[in-house]
């Protein structure tokens, strides 16, 4: 199967190279979307062997994944995997994720750190992640064990049915809503997510990211 | 006429004139023009005949006319804020699609896909 890995990256020059090197053997192509970084993220990714798409100005996590996914489809990808640039995911979680897809049919596989392992997960993050699970259950009507995990995979057929509009972190919620709307079958797959000093330093999402996500979801619904 | 009445009426006159200019230049539709004109007409009436506000306030059950005016003004500000939020969300999406278009255009494509017909690119 022709698998493309899409890595959204903003100011991740110190981690993106190792991430690209780590996932390369699992895919036909690794695409890093450098989202207006000013620290050489794009160059580091290219040096590690990724194809780099560049957003001239920062448009956010969801916008970058949508750009990378559109590119992969245009290149004939049969499956697309989303993978974070900050080194928190394990490259060897990719094959089970891809095997969980039904080839040639609309299908999605969602990584779950609560079925798998969350290493050194801070209690506050655990709390917001659990709230996200409840929120997703209440708003989207889906019971997931981990609602905001950036490690996920889709078949081409699933991507053709979905329509993504959220530019920022609310994207992760929108993906679930779109799976429901388009009636795409999904499964959760255990994955490992590691919390490190690097992953915790200087949050890029600003204060109270969870509130921002709820606000984005609300206004996102009002704009066609 | 008191000074405050004069100032407010002068401001309303200027706003009317600006509205008319924006209607002429096509920035406003006729409906929008009429809405805004009527809103400021209401302001002018209340400034000229403040008893109208008191009468309306008593009618809807709010204590004083000036209270009613403040409540309505606050509602209007919230409404405008809401509209600005939505407009900025729209602009953000348009910016994203421009940025995305450039990113995809500048991608140095590796060898074209071997199979399949025309590839689909979503906006
Ligand atoms: N393209 C793009 N990517 C971003 C942006 N902000 C964060 N990212 C990427 O999104 C991924 C996840 O970001 P994190 O800040 O770790 O968010 P998270 O994984 O939901 O939060 P944690 O559970 O605390 O790690 C990383 O690969 C980041 O580089 C952004 O503005 N644009
Ligand atoms: Mg992270």
Nearest to A70 among B110, B114, B122 (CB): B122
Q: What is the mean pLDDT of chain B?
A: 87
Whether residue B72 lies inside any domain: the answer is no
Name the pLDDT band for B111 (thresholds 50, 70, 90). Answer: very low
Q: Which percentage of chain A shows pLDDT scores above 90?
A: 88
Question: CA A131 → CA A91, A126, A188, A211, B70, distances in Å?
Answer: 27, 9, 18, 11, 39
The answer to whether A78 and A1 have CB atoms below 8 angstroms apart is yes
Whether residue B115 lies inside any domain: the answer is no
Q: How far B83 CA lies from chain A's nearest CA (Å)? A: 10
A146 vs A215, higher pLDDT: A146
The CATH code of the domain that includes A191 is 3.90.550.10
Domain count, chain B: 1
Would you list which residues of chain A are within 8 Å, Cβ to Cβ, of chain B? 29, 33, 51, 53-57, 59-60, 63, 66-67, 69-71, 73-76, 160, 163, 165, 167, 219-220, 222-223
> Cα of B113 to ligand 2 centre, how many Å?
32
Q: What is residue A11's predicted lDDT score, i.e. its pLDDT?
A: 96
Q: How far B75 CA lies from chain A's nearest CA (Å)? A: 19
pTM: 0.85
Q: How far A76 CA lies from chain B's nearest CA (Å)? A: 6
Name the pLDDT band for B65 (thresholds 50, 70, 90). Answer: confident
Flag whether pLDDT at A214 surpasses 60.
yes
Whether residue B18 lies inside any domain: the answer is yes
**DSSP letters along chain A, please?**
--EEEEEEESS-TTTHHHHHHHHGGG-SEEEEEEES-SSSHHHHHHHTT-EEEEESS---HHHHHHHHHHHHHHTT-SEEEE--SSS-B-GGGHHHHHHTS-TTSS-EEEEEEEEEEEET--HHHHHHHHHHHHHHHHHT----S-SS-S-EEEEHHHHHH------STTHHHHHHHHHHHTT--EEEEEEEEE--HHHHSS-TT-S-HHHHHHHHHHHHHH--
CA–CA separation, B64 and A29 (whole Å)? 70
Q: Residue A71 and residue B89: Cβ atoms within 8 Å?
A: no
ipTM above 0.90? yes
Instruction: Please give the average per-residue pLDDT across B40-63, as a whole number.
Output: 90
Instruction: Please give the average per-residue pLDDT across A95-107, as a whole number.
Output: 97
Flag whether pLDDT at A59 surpasses 90.
yes
Domain carrying residue B3: 1-49
Q: What is residue A209's predicted lDDT score, i.e. its pLDDT?
A: 83
B118 vs B38, higher pLDDT: B38
| Nearest ligand to residue A19 Cα | 1
Q: What is the pLDDT of residues A115-127, one digit of tens each?
A: 999 999 999 999 9
Would you list which residues of chain B are within 8 Å, Cβ to Cβ, of chain A? 85-86, 89-90, 92-93, 95-96, 99-100, 102-104, 106-110, 112-116, 119-122
Q: What is residue B109's predicted lDDT score, i.e. its pLDDT?
A: 53
Ligand 1 lined by A71 (C-beta under 6 Å)? no
> Cα of A84 to ligand 1 centre, how many Å?
7
Whether residue B19 lies inside any domain: the answer is yes
Domain count, chain A: 1
Q: Tell me which of B84, B103, B111 to substitute to probe the interface with A (most A C-beta atoms closer than 10 Å).
A: B103
Q: What is the pLDDT of residues A9-50, one digit of tens each?
A: 999 999 999 999 999 999 999 999 999 999 999 999 999 999
| Nearest ligand to residue A119 Cα | 1
Q: What is residue A200's predicted lDDT score, i.e. its pLDDT?
A: 81
Whether residue B104 lies inside any domain: the answer is no
Whether residue B36 lies inside any domain: the answer is yes
CA–CA separation, A9 and B92 (whole Å)? 19
**Residues of B with Cβ-Cβ distance to A69 under 8 angstroms:** 122
């Amino acid at each position: 199967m022709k698998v493309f890995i899409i890595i959204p990256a903003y100011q991740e020059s110190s981690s993106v190279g190792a991430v690209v090197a780590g996932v390369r053997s699992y895919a036909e192509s690794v695409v890093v979307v450098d989202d207006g970084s000013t620290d050489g993220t794009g160059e580091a990714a290219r040096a590690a062997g990724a194809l780099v798409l560049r957003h001239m100005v920062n448009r956010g996590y969801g916008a970058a994944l949508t750009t990378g996914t559109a590119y992969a489809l245009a290149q004939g990808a049969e499956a697309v995997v989303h993978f974070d640039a900050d080194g928190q995911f394990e490259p060897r979680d990719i094959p089970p994720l891809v095997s969980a897809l039904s080839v040639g049919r609309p299908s999605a596989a969602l990584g779950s750190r609560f079925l798998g392992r969350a290493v050194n997960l801070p209690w506050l993050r655990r709390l917001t992640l659990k709230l996200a699970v409840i929120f997703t259950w209440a708003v989207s009507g889906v019971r997931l064990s981990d609602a905001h995990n950036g490690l996920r995979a889709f078949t081409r057929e699933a991507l053709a049915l979905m329509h993504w509009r959220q530019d920022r972190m609310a994207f992760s919620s929108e993906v679930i809503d779109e799976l429901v709307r388009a009636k795409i079958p999904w499964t959760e797959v255990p994955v490992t997510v590691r919390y490190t000093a690097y992953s915790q330093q200087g949050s890029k999402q600003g204060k109270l990211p969870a509130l921002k996500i709820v606000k984005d979801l609300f206004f996102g619904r009002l704009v066609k | 006429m008191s000074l405050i009445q004069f100032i407010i009426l002068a401001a309303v006159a200027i706003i009317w004139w600006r509205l008319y200019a924006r209607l002429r230049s096509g920035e406003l539709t006729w409906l929008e023009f009429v809405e805004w004109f009527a809103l400021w007409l209401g302001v002018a009436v209340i400034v000229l005949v403040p008893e109208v506000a008191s009468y309306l306030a008593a009618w809807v059950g709010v204590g004083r006319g000036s209270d009613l005016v403040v409540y309505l003004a606050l509602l209007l500000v919230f409404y405008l804020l809401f509209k600005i939020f939505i407009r900025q969300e729209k602009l953000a999406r348009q910016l994203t699609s421009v940025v995305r278009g450039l990113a995809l255009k500048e991608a140095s494509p590796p060898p074209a896909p071997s199979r399949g017909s025309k590839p689909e690119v979503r906006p």
